[in-house]
Structure formats: C-alpha cells, structure tokens
Amino acid sequence: MNRAELAAFLRTRREALTPADVGLSGGPRRRAAGLRREEVAQLTGMSVDYYTRLEQSRGPQPSPQMLTALARTLRLSDDERDYLFRLAGHAAPERTGIGEHVAPGLLRVLDRLDDTPAMVLSRLGETLVANRLAQAIFGDHTARTGLARSDIYRWFTEPGARLIYPPGDRDRQSRALVANLRAAYGVLGENSPAGRMVAALNVASEEFAGLWARHEVARRFEDHKTLVHPELGPIEVDCQVLFTQDESQVLIVLTAPPRSEAAEKIRLLGVVGAQRFTGASPEAP
C-alpha cells in the first residue's frame, strides 16, 4: 500500500469535483472548489475520520468494497479505478463487464434526475445504484449478495418479486428477463456469473427452464409499463434506457406525462418513500 500516493490521488480527485458533479447543492458559503471531505465520506458510507486519515497518509488499508465505493463517489474512470486499487495494495478488479463500478457517464446523468425514478443495472439485472424515487418503487436491493443481487434470479425464485407488475404483464416480463440473460450469456460465456445463474435457475425454476429452451435473445425493456406500488396503486410510466458503449450497464429512467395521474403519483413517491412496503419487497424492472 502506497499511503502517500493514495492520499495525493484521493485529494486531487476530490478537489476536481464540484457538488453539482455528484448531485449535491453547492450552497452559498463554499470557500474552496471541490468536494469537502465530509461530503466524500457521506457519499461513500464511511466515517469522516476514516476518510481524513486516508488523505493524511495514516489510514488503514481500505477493503476492496470500500475502494469500489470510493471510486463511485469520486466518479473515477475504469483506469483511475484500477490505479486506486493498486495504490491501496489490491489487485485491480477484472473487467468482466459485470462489476460494482458504475460508468461515470451514467452516474452524471443519474445525479441530475431527482424528480423521476432512475437506476443503473448491470448485464445481469443487478441494481448498482438507484435514486430515492426508484427505491421508493422497487425497494433497495443494492446490499443483496450472491445470485439474489439480480432481479432476474429473484423473479424466478422469490414469489414476492412479481408483485410490482400486474398479473397480466408477468408472462411478458418473464420472457424479457430470460431474453436479457441470454444476451448476457452470449457475451460472457458459460464459465461466468451469467453461466452460473443459468445453471442455478434451470434447477430452481421450471418456468425459467422452459423459457431458456426457446433461445430468445434481446436487450429488451418495454417502452411503456404499469408498475404497482403497495400504497399508491398502479403507476403507468414510459421507460427510457441509456446503455454504455459496451452495453455492460444500462440507465433506466421512468417518466410520466406532465400533469397526469401517474406524474402525481411519482411526486407522491417522494413523500411516501420506501418506508411502507407491504409484504415482500418489489424488484427492479
């Protein structure tokens, strides 16, 4: 671990960002450019003291999980993320296209979406980051581990995962999820997390096995869908998607026409929040 170089790198990356770059309000009394240490710590999920010690070359070795969170907060590119890991004494993560590191370009767009639900998903349907309105609809699944991190896996193994869609739309959603997984499988191969998920789901779900045998392949997201919130009821939304260049991640944005009933329900999501889900938590689209 190169503490001096790590400290300098963190400090320069922090000072290169503005509050607006990470979705924060700058406020009228900022005396210096860049983010404050306490803002980096809060966004990363660490104590201010811990982060301060890192910048002062006297902190303990950060874990890979902490470095991943720091890379996201500081909006690092893949190369910068790898450099951060090596400075901290860890091997750089493999670039398999399904890691925790969120593409900075997608994060910059997400940071500016505070009035409509939006989230970033991996190839395997893992929610990498979601804004507060998306969490109010789908719940917060970013802390899930293993195969259960994927909304595809949960859809076929957890009955409560389907409550977010009306009964009449669930068959279509099943086909879309399997087609998305087939596309990921084609890119990543049998000896990959995609392959392991396919093997597990073929055993766990007869429905999945039947759909997998159809060999449908598509990165499919419905343009218009109805989602069911436990408190607000059905919400009709339009779905826009933005892929990274290699299509390893996708930003999903849900919108409703201005002054519509659905737009009012989305506004109310900010009031209802994610506090009053009944039954099992709904899942990501």
Residue 271's pLDDT band, with cuts at 50, 70 and 90, is confident
* pLDDT at res. 166: 95
Looking at residue 205, its pLDDT comes to 97
Q: Which one of 185-189, 249-253, 276-280 scores highest in mean pLDDT?
A: 249-253
Neighbours of 230 (CB within 10 A): 15
Per-residue pLDDT for 276 more than 60?
Answer: no
Tokens of 110: 């997400």
Supply φ then ψ for residue 206, to 5 degrees.
Answer: -65, -35
Alpha carbons 75 and 164: distance in angstroms, whole number: 31
Q: Which two tokens stand for residue 273?
A: 């929040």
pLDDT band at 40 (very low <50, low <70, confident <90, very high): very high
pTM of structure: 0.69
Contact 235, 261 (CB under 8 A): no
Q: Which two tokens stand for residue 181?
A: 């997984």
Instruction: Work out the mean pLDDT of the chain and round it to a whole number.
Output: 86
Lowest mean pLDDT among 71-75, 206-210, 220-224: 220-224
118 three-class SS: strand
